Amino acid sequence: MKKRYKKEQGKAVWNSFKQMKSYLDKNFQVLIEVDEENNFINQDGKKIYDGVSNLLSANVGHKNPRVIKSIVDQLHTLDNSTLYTTTNDRAIEFSEKMKELTDQHFHSCFFTNSGSEACDTAIKIVRKYRYNQQSRKTGILALNGGFHGATIAAQMVAQDCYNNEEYALSPQGFFQVEPPILSCNDSESEKAQKITEAVKRFEAYIKREDAAIGAFIFELIQLSNAVNVLPQDYVEQVFSICKENDVLIIVDEVATGFGRTGKMFASQQYEVYGDLMMTAKGMTSGYIPMGCVMVTEKIFNGFWSDSEGAMLDHGYTSGGHPVACAAALATITELVDQKLSKNSEKMGSYLTEKLTSELKNNSLLEEVKGSGLMIALIFKEIPMKGMSQWGIAEIASKFMLNKGLMLYPDDTNVLIVAPPLTITKEACDQMVAIITETLKKIELFAET
């Protein structure tokens, strides 16, 4: 008989972004197993389909034989080593593969253990790069609504996601500007106007002398801004402005990378590459923690010197871990061999269209939007009878969990749908059925 864990024991684990008192009182969940069909199994024996890919990381799905074998084989070959002292063969192989996947645009890879660490690393790289240039352009510009991690540097980049006063942080040298947010209800002229205004705001910030902007960090598709897909025209103009004003571009592909949005990287959808690219999450499909920052030859050469003072004072003991690199290489092979980027594009379109069709008459829903298998259900601000302290996304996610579907409420009224890239039409239909049935029931609680 398997051991059961009580709520009191849950205090031993401090969960991410959770008020632990309410989580243990109302939402405590212990997972003990997962199957090949991407169903988690909790300690009560209940199956729960992973409809958010372990927070957009399990791109090739759970229990993938190729990835598991690569990990086991590597443990028997070179179980660990650190880039502080030596370079390992798997780190070189992975870096070469990443250069190949990004059309040889990038020159070198700096390893991290997560997306948050990738953000810190990218910030340190651009700031030290400017120092080596004897430049005062150290300001960092980001977009409102972007999320780049949970470390202190990431928190200062994404100021509007946090209350920095609570952590005694003064984000001096970090700035944000509003991106364009287009709606399906906008006319073509309204969309064009929003883009024009957003470009003007961006250019004004870039040219502010007191900001001294030296780098721009952003996601092409903003996961935590209700999956805000930036318009192609906006992105092209922003890139042009940055190049004209000697502003380095950091593209955050932590959530979008490795097939999630229909291409290996969202940069390839937009046909643009930055000076730096952050990745993590789907890199190893979540089997082993890993992240990295890819940099161009120009950036790398900014540190190449006979002077020790020009080096990047940065690193992580387990960065470039051979087992993590083996898992990442196997993940990439699986993505390519099984054409999972294409499946993400195809199933993403199918899932988005089916959700839009099935929920078109639901009074709670504002919009369905996304790219590939990164989809957001955006709800209206409607209070629920007897549940006014929660938003619709929060309520829906709890109801759906009881029905065997795990989704992620990224905001009170935004629900993220992001299943593994291996998903079939049948699995999409099952998800839509649970979502539709749940929202139909919740609709009865809406205050009119």
Q: What are the tens digits of pLDDT across the range 174-187? A: 999 999 999 988 99
Backbone angles phi, psi at 54, to 5 degrees: 50, 50
Local structure of 325: helix, strand or coil: helix
pLDDT(436) > 70: yes
Q: Which residue has the higher pLDDT, 419 or 171?
A: 419
Q: What is the predicted pLDDT for the residue at 1?
A: 56
Prediction pTM value: 0.96
Do residues 418 and 38 lie in contact, with contact meaning Cβ atoms separated by under 8 Å? no
Local structure of 233: helix, strand or coil: helix
Q: What is the predicted pLDDT for the residue at 418?
A: 98
Integer Cα distance of 361 and 373 in angstroms:
23
Q: What is the predicted pLDDT for the residue at 429?
A: 98
Q: What are the tens digits of pLDDT across the range 91-111? A: 999 999 999 999 999 999 999
How many other CB atoms sit within 10 Å of the CB of residue 437? 14
Each domain of the chain, given as residue ranges in start order, spans: 7-63+339-447, 65-338
Integer Cα distance of 220 and 202 in angstroms:
15
Q: How confident is the model at residue 170 (pLDDT cuts 50, 70, 90)?
A: confident
Token duo for residue 133: 């240039």
Token duo for residue 69: 């074998």
Element (H, E) at 70: helix 65-75
Q: What are the tens digits of pLDDT across the range 361-403? A: 999 999 999 999 999 999 999 998 888 888 999 999 999 999 9
Q: What is the predicted pLDDT for the residue at 171?
A: 86
pLDDT(317) > 90: yes
Do residues 141 and 206 lie in contact, with contact meaning Cβ atoms separated by under 8 Å? yes
pLDDT(233) > 60: yes
Do residues 200 and 386 lie in contact, with contact meaning Cβ atoms separated by under 8 Å? no
Q: What are the tens digits of pLDDT across the range 194-208? A: 999 999 999 999 999
- Alpha helices by DSSP H, listed for 302-339, are 322-337
Average pLDDT, the chain: 96
Q: What are the tens digits of pLDDT across the range 116-138? A: 999 999 999 999 999 999 999 99
pLDDT(351) > 80: yes
Q: What is the predicted pLDDT for the residue at 83?
A: 98
Q: Which residue has the higher pLDDT, 388 or 38?
A: 38
Write down the CATH number for the domain with range 7-63+339-447: 3.90.1150.10
Q: Which percentage of the chain shows pLDDT scores above 70?
A: 100
| Adjacent-strand bridge partners of 368 | 377
pLDDT(447) > 90: no
| Adjacent-strand bridge partners of 172 | none
Q: What is the predicted pLDDT for the residue at 138?
A: 96
Q: What are the tens digits of pLDDT across the range 291-307? A: 999 999 999 999 999 99
Apex 200 CA angle, 195 and 202, nearest 5:
95
Question: Residue range 262-274: average pLDDT?
Answer: 98
Q: How confident is the model at residue 149 (pLDDT cuts 50, 70, 90)?
A: very high
How many other CB atoms sit within 10 Å of the CB of residue 292? 29
> End-to-end distance of the chain based on CA atoms, in angstroms?
49
Q: Which percentage of the chain shows pLDDT scores above 90?
A: 94
Do residues 221 and 256 lie in contact, with contact meaning Cβ atoms separated by under 8 Å? yes
Do residues 297 and 118 lie in contact, with contact meaning Cβ atoms separated by under 8 Å? no
Q: Do the strands 108-112 and 174-177 form a parallel or antiparallel pair, or are they unpaired?
A: unpaired
Distances (CA, A) of 332 to 37, 104, 253, 343, 418: 20, 16, 15, 15, 19
Q: What is the predicted pLDDT for the residue at 348?
A: 98
Amino acid letter, 199: V
Q: What residue has token string 């579907």?
A: 405
pLDDT(40) > 80: yes
Write down the CATH number for the domain with range 65-338: 3.40.640.10
Helices (H) then strands (E): counts for the chain: 14, 17
Integer Cα distance of 308 and 279 in angstroms:
28
Q: Which residue has the higher pLDDT, 390 or 73?
A: 73
Amino acid letter, 13: V
Integer Cα distance of 268 and 284 in angstroms:
20
Q: What percent of the chain is helix, strand and coil (3-state, nearest 5)?
A: 40, 15, 40
Q: How confident is the model at residue 3 (pLDDT cuts 50, 70, 90)?
A: confident
